Every structure is written in C-alpha cells, then in structure tokens.
C-alpha cells in the first residue's frame, strides 16, 4: 500500500507527527505544520505535498501530477496515482517538503527542535 510507504518515509524525518484528518487522510506535520498528506481510502489522489514554486511549476507539467485541491495556492501538488513519480524522487520531494516547512517555522521553534535532537 502506497500510504504505508509514504508513512514509513515521512516518519524517518526528525520530529514528524502523524494524524488522521478529514476522515481518511493521513497528515504528516512538523511542529504542527503540514508538509504531506497520504490518502488512506481510494480517491482521486494518492498523496499531496508541499514544494517550492520552481518544483511546483515543473511537477504540474508531468503526467499524473496536478495542483493539489485547496492547497495549490501554497504550492502543493497531488499525485493522481502512486506510480506518477519514481519512489527515489518521491522520497527526495517529501524530504524537501519537510525542509521547506521547517525553514518557515519561527526561529525559536527551529532552535527548540534542533536542541531536542
């Protein structure tokens, strides 16, 4: 199951938490801020994640990658199927999504996360 792979990947990043929100979406957060969402039940999208404006523009040109519903204005993309991107690239993009969110956290929050390991 693709959601299990996304979960396993995201939980390797420091200080990540997961919650089930909106009924059947597995949401990954760092310091309370979302960086990825995996769908637990069959849906139009397999996973959504934050990306840089440059990656967003490039990714939505690829087959199977679309602007994420409700989150596209914040540069989120969604994969229409698990195979839309190769897993090594997905792993890199999920880490980049995590890093983008961490970089936007308040300085004090980043320092607290760094101090706790």
Q: H/E/C letters for each residue in the chain? A: CHHHHHHHHHCCCCCEEEEEECCCEEEEEECCEEEEEEECCCCCCCEEEECCHHHHHHHCCCCCEEECCCCHHHCEEEECCHHHCCHHHHHHHHHHHHHHHHHHCCHHHHHHHHHCC
pTM (predicted TM-score)? 0.92
Instruction: Give pLDDT tens digits for 50-76.
Output: 999 999 999 999 999 999 988 999 999
- pLDDT of 113 reads 86
Residues 61-86 as b/e (b if ≥16 CB within 10 A, e otherwise) read: eeeebbbbeebeeebbbbbeebebbe
94/2 Cα distance (integer angstroms)? 14
Decide if 101 is inside a domain.
yes
- The CATH number linked to 77 is 3.90.1150.30
- pLDDT of 116 reads 82
Domain that holds residue 45: 2-107
The segments of the chain whose pLDDT lies below 70 read 117
For residue 40 the two structure tokens come to 């637990």
Decide if 114 is inside a domain.
no
94/32 Cα distance (integer angstroms)? 16
Decide if 117 is inside a domain.
no
Decide if 86 is inside a domain.
yes
Report how many domains make up the chain.
Answer: 1
């Amino acid at each position: 199951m693709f959601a299990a792979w996304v979960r396993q990947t995201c939980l390797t990043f420091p200080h990540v938490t997961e919650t089930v929100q909106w009924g059947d979406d597995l949401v990954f957060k760092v310091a309370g801020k979302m960086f990825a969402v995996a769908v637990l039940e069959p849906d139009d999208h397999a996973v959504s994640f934050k990306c840089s404006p440059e990656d967003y523009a490039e990714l939505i040109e690829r087959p199977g990658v679309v602007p994420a519903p409700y989150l596209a204005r914040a540069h989120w993309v969604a994969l229409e199927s698990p195979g839309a991107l190769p897993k090594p690239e997905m792993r890199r993009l999920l880490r980049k999504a995590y890093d983008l969110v961490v970089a936007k956290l308040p300085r004090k929050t980043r320092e607290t996360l760094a101090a706790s390991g």
